[in-house]
Amino acid sequence: MRVRYVPLMLCLFALAACGSPVETVTHTPTLEPTETPAPGTFYFTTEDNVTLNGQIIGQGRTAIIFSNGKQVSKISWQPIAQQLAGHGYLCLLYDYRGIPPSRGRNDPDQRDRDLRAAVEVAHARGATSLVLVGSSFGGTLTAALAAQVRPTATVILSAPLSDGAIGVSDDDVRALAMPKLFMASRDDTRYVGSVQHMYEVSPQPKQIGIYPGANHGDAILTAADTGEAAMRHLVAFLQAYAPAG
């Protein structure tokens, strides 16, 4: 049996003598990038001890708080916040309870506490003027709390009159004494009527923008067909009633 292996051993010695390299194969592990928090992100706590995730974009004495659609991340507001930060505003984005990376149980009926906590954060960051901006469910939430929070101005996009326990009556809308901007899309049929109703019931000062197409909520401000005009309207409204400081 040993004799059968001699030629193989001789070949190996011959190859080594000829200088042929012996290749060593090593495994290089694939490195997966780790997620890095976006600049300005932080955590804060509500009155009922739920930890929420927020993000600050920009700086200034006039803070704009953005409230999202019902199951939408704060990420949807980032391009809008970046533009407004360029105009000198401090923009505060946050995720509702139960929407990662915020913690707690996903309970839309308790989200008024989330917005109240965001307002406290804005004041703690030195804001002397406050604007509430809400999209869809966030617009209803904004309208429901605005009379109590008393912001300098309010912006409501594509909001229903009610969603679960969060809702606004005509009396609630009449109590919105601060300047208001309402925005909706003409073909977003489920929401344009409620936005027009809030505009009609609410007192002056008020403005409304009804845009072509069916873009919903914050998409009105970013879509190719409406974004430029809608952002001009929003910036002009803010500069008139809640200038950056």
pLDDT at 19: 47
* CA–CA separation, 88 and 23 (whole Å): 61
pLDDT at 186: 98
Has this prediction a pTM greater than 0.75? yes
Domains, the chain, with CATH or none: 39-241 (3.40.50.1820)
pLDDT at 25: 43
- The whole-number mean pLDDT for each consecutive block of 10 residues of the chain, a chain of 245 residues, reads 40 41 42 61 96 97 97 95 98 97 96 98 96 98 96 98 95 97 97 98 98 97 97 98 94
- Beta-carbon count within 10 A of 180 CB: 26
The answer to whether the CB of 229 falls within 8 A of the CB of 211 is: yes
* CA–CA separation, 17 and 241 (whole Å): 87
pLDDT at 191: 98
